[in-house]
Amino acid sequence: MKEIIISMLKERGIEIKKIAQLVYELQKPYIDVTLEDAIINVEKVLEKREVQNTILTGLQIDILAEEGLIKEPLLSIIRRDDSLYGIDEILALSITNVYGSIGFTNFGYLDKVKPGIIGEIDKAGKTTEKVHTFADDIVSGIAAAACARIAHANEKDHK
Amino acid sequence: MKEIIISMLKERGIEIKKIAQLVYELQKPYIDVTLEDAIINVEKVLEKREVQNTILTGLQIDILAEEGLIKEPLLSIIRRDDSLYGIDEILALSITNVYGSIGFTNFGYLDKVKPGIIGEIDKAGKTTEKVHTFADDIVSGIAAAACARIAHANEKDHK
Amino acid sequence: MKEIIISMLKERGIEIKKIAQLVYELQKPYIDVTLEDAIINVEKVLEKREVQNTILTGLQIDILAEEGLIKEPLLSIIRRDDSLYGIDEILALSITNVYGSIGFTNFGYLDKVKPGIIGEIDKAGKTTEKVHTFADDIVSGIAAAACARIAHANEKDHK
Amino acid sequence: MKEIIISMLKERGIEIKKIAQLVYELQKPYIDVTLEDAIINVEKVLEKREVQNTILTGLQIDILAEEGLIKEPLLSIIRRDDSLYGIDEILALSITNVYGSIGFTNFGYLDKVKPGIIGEIDKAGKTTEKVHTFADDIVSGIAAAACARIAHANEKDHK
């Protein structure tokens, strides 16, 4: 299942390495971490069933919106990434949550500032036929969860 | 928008009065409430934007699964209402939440015991071509939110 | 830390075996499970940092309310387990959540029906000087999380 | 109750106007809003029962930690604002949530960047005898909820 998820993310323009880059940048100031560590932690997040279900569901909704298979008025709400539509944030929080509530802060920060790959897919969603309403929150959620995982692991190393 | 939601629920076999019946049964032991009060409170829940977005999204996923427009492996997961798939619960909690966390308990109770209309649509989802994976949690969420709304309103009356 | 948590629960009248009993009763209809399995799974839940923090915090608030060290108006709200006070439910959900959202349903069911030890401590909280406003939700949360853990593990066994 | 909450916040060094300042800065780029509007919206957030309960509980824990009335090991965890302690984030999310999930993003952003009053109380918590482990998340939560309220109200005005 993990391989399905990774290739599904790739088809939507999201590479593991680019998510790991976000994790690396966020954790570098606090913890001695390499990009390689970040990649390993992102992959660990993607092994979680709850995370897999959320990614499958969120990316599927984006794709169906692109294909015009979702009915109105929901289709337009998703296509324009309506600022009062919060279902993408709720789904992403269920990813962030898998290593505890300490991930909420990084999720919100990433979703607001939109660095790296998050900004790229958000921009593509707003300027092309692509729909990335769920995708950008999903990436923020995965990166925030990986940061939380690193924080937990780092603490164990120091005991 | 509220009228769109009510007619969408009706198309999926869910009448407001049947949701209100659940609310009435749950609140009767604690508060002097009529079925009419319950109906009014269910309708108030359906006016909330967050609730509307969740219903639009959840019922749309059920319909797309029925029509076979969702890709595998997600299609099978949703069709069989996989016990490890929790996205329906997450979405429903965002409904339950609109009048605060006191709704969580009634949500879980309804989703477990499946009284009235909840049991009806759950059974139809398991024995017919219909897919009600999201629908039953949505009904539990609406009923739990309406109970929370009544509890808040009742308290104000006594001050 | 796990040992501190277990002895803290015991001081509040909550034995692991009694939580496991709830888990066993809930899972028995679906999965081939023993009381011993249930105990092991409850103990695994108690190893999670997020769970430990929630238990430490929730039981501490109960104790401080018993000792009268919390200021008004919060003291009275907690002592009478006010039905509009939902902070105990929120904290418990962070326990339930550690094995994903599939635990929400069992949490709500347990918190509503209050079987076994949950009913015992709830009753003690309402009829004695004891305050168990957070304790009963914590027990429901631990039991629901253990059920979710068993469901995940069972699925792996069948693959 | 709202007046109790406002004076409790003030005693902890948190003035409504300073929270409103955060709201104003966040919303200014998107919506035609004044500082006065922001103050009104912060006050509306503080009228919500769920928000009041969270503030009462969170600030009470900070105060009890300052007074040394919380037992170990929880006392040290709260006093040093341990990075793996996420109960403060969970409580704050229940504030953020009152106007829907669209508030999550601003909450995380504020909690990470710590502008204005959030940075002030965070710094005081880390450099003086004061404990503001819950206070900074509570302020982020209130500000994020007020932003969500403004976004909802603004949309109605344009219909």
For chain D, domain boundaries: 2-9+17-157
Residues A77 and B78: beta-carbon distance below 8 Å: no
pTM for the whole structure: 0.93
The pLDDT-based confidence of B154 (bands split at 50, 70, 90) is confident
8 Å CB contact of A53 and B94: no
The C-alpha angle with vertex B127 and arms to B126 and B131, in degrees rounded to 5, equals 50
Q: What is the CATH number of domain D2-9+17-157?
A: 1.10.3760.10
Question: What is residue C78's predicted lDDT score, i.e. its pLDDT?
Answer: 97
Fold annotation for C2-157: YutG-like (1.10.3760)
- Residue C101 to residue C93: CA distance in whole angstroms: 9
Residues D73 and C1: beta-carbon distance below 8 Å: yes
8 Å CB contact of A84 and D102: yes
pLDDT digits (tens, 9 = 90+) for D112-122: 999 999 999 99
pLDDT digits (tens, 9 = 90+) for B19-73: 999 999 999 999 999 999 999 999 999 999 999 999 999 999 999 999 999 999 9
Residues A129 and A62: beta-carbon distance below 8 Å: no
Q: What is the 3-state secondary structure (H, E, C) of A72-139?
A: CCHHHHHHCCCCCCCHHHHHHHHHHHHHCHHHHHHHHHHHHHCCHHHHHHHHHHHHCCCCCCCHHHHH
Q: Which residues in B lie closer than 8 A to residue C85 (C-beta atoms)?
A: 102
Q: Which residues in C lie closer than 8 A to residue A50 (C-beta atoms)?
A: 100-101
Q: Domain B2-7+24-154, CATH 1.10.3760.10 — does that match? A: yes
Q: What percentage of residues in chain C have a pLDDT greater than 90?
A: 85
pLDDT digits (tens, 9 = 90+) for B76-102: 999 999 989 999 999 999 899 888 888
8 Å CB contact of A84 and D152: yes
- Residue C16 to residue C1: CA distance in whole angstroms: 15
Any D CB within 8 A of B145 CB: no
- How far does C55 lie from chain A, in Å, by closest CA? 14
Question: What is residue A157's predicted lDDT score, i.e. its pLDDT?
Answer: 65
- Residue B10 to residue B4: CA distance in whole angstroms: 10
ipTM over 0.90: yes
Any D CB within 8 A of C77 CB: yes
Task: State the residue for tokens 């309402």.
Answer: C126
| Architecture label for domain A16-154 | Orthogonal Bundle (1.10)
